[in-house]
């Protein structure tokens, strides 16, 4: 596969980064959105499966990856508007928009706020309201659910390979670190005083995460969606064990949507692993074909 192109798009008070994979034979474009502590390279395995037949453009959200220096405001609505601005400036007409994890909420919100730009929506292990115990502080819930991820944002590593080695120990990657996964994890790093740390802004993560847990408009965005969407779900959770992020009973709760479950997959490799990426690519291709 040819080398992907890093692009920059001016959006209001910020410059947003994105990756565009070469697509000489593409008839349509998919714009993809990553998860809460991820970056655009999380879509590399899917891009490889699409192999230029569909043009894939993955956006780095404010406070992450190549958009790590983009200033506030954060939040799902702002990210949705940023992604819409990217779509407009690409000049490719209506697109299929895809989102993984938190990116699923961004994709749904972009479709709701900018319907003239979005032809269809594909969600990957995200987009449903997360459970929140009553009477619990939102930031405490974030620390409970995202504690290891937030702790990672505060750490430093002596080398890039030390950071890679940390991810090798993660249960989600027990099957090994592929070249696409390596590119994704190393793209997260920035060098500071001779050491390396994550480029992800804790402020952005906490702001966005609080919306996912406490903002009723964000939490109900899938419920308001009248048009069917395509949803790919993982069988296992973040640490490659039950419970999954999206319980299987949601397929019955939302019967109007088209569901695919990737057997044995977890919240990470449902997008980054070979089987997961192949399934997501198939679903994206079907969405593009249905809209062409």
Give burial (CB, 10 Å; 0-12/13-18/19+) of 285. Answer: middle
CATH architecture of 5-130+201-291: 3-Layer(aba) Sandwich (3.40)
Domains of the chain by residue range: 5-130+201-291
If pLDDT is split at 50, 70 and 90, which confidence band does 176 have? very high
Rounded alpha-carbon distances, angstroms, from residue 2 to 20, 37, 48, 108: 11, 27, 10, 30
pLDDT number for residue 131: 83
Is residue 80 scored above 90 in pLDDT? yes
pLDDT digits (tens, 9 = 90+) for 149-159: 888 999 999 99
**pLDDT at residue 113, rounded to an integer:** 98
**Rounded CA gap, 197 and 191, in Å?**
7
| Measured distance CA(132)–CA(155) in Å, rounded | 28
Average pLDDT (120-133) is 93
Rounded Cα gap, residues 4 and 239, in angstroms: 30
Percent of the chain topping pLDDT 90: 87
Paired tokens of 54: 């569909």
User: Band of the pLDDT at 1, cuts 50, 70, 90?
Assistant: low
Higher pLDDT, 259 or 51: 259
Neighbours of 213 (CB within 10 A): 20
pLDDT band at residue 13, thresholds of 50, 70 and 90? confident
Q: What average pLDDT score do residues 193-206 get?
A: 96
Report the pLDDT value the prediction gives residue 52, as an integer from 0 to 100.
80
Q: Which of 43-52, 146-155, 275-284 has the highest mean pLDDT?
A: 275-284
pLDDT higher than threshold 70 for residue 118: yes
Per-residue pLDDT at 133? 75
């Amino acid at each position: 596969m040819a080398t992907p192109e890093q692009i920059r798009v001016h959006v209001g008070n910020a410059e947003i980064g994105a990756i565009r994979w070469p697509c000489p034979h593409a008839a349509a474009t998919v714009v993809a959105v990553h998860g809460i502590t991820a970056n655009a390279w999380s879509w590399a395995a899917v891009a490889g499966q699409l192999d230029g037949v569909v043009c894939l453009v993955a956006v780095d959200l404010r406070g992450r990856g190549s958009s790590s220096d983009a200033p506030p405001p954060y939040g799902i609505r702002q990210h949705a508007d940023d992604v819409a601005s990217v779509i407009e400036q690409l000049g490719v007409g209506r697109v299929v928009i895809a989102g993984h994890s938190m990116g699923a909420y961004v994709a749904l919100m972009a479709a709701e706020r900018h319907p003239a730009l979005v032809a269809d929506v594909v969600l990957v292990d995200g987009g449903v309201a997360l459970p929140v115990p009553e009477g619990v502080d939102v930031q405490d819930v974030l620390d409970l659910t995202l504690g290891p991820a937030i702790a990672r944002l505060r750490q430093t590593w002596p080398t890039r390979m030390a950071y890679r080695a940390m991810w090798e120990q993660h249960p989600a990657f027990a099957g090994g670190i592929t070249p696409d996964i390596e590119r994704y994890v190393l793209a997260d790093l920035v060098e500071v005083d001779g050491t390396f740390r994550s480029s992800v802004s804790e402020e952005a993560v906490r702001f966005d995460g609080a919306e996912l847990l406490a903002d009723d408009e964000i939490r109900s965005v899938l419920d308001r969606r009248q048009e069917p969407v395509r949803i790919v779900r993982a069988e296992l959770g973040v640490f490659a064990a039950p419970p999954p992020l999206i319980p299987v009973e949601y397929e019955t709760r939302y019967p109007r949507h088209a569901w695919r479950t990737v057997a044995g997959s977890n919240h990470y490799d449902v997008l980054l692993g070979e089987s997961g990426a192949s399934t997501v690519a198939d679903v994206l291709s079907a969405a593009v074909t249905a809209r062409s």
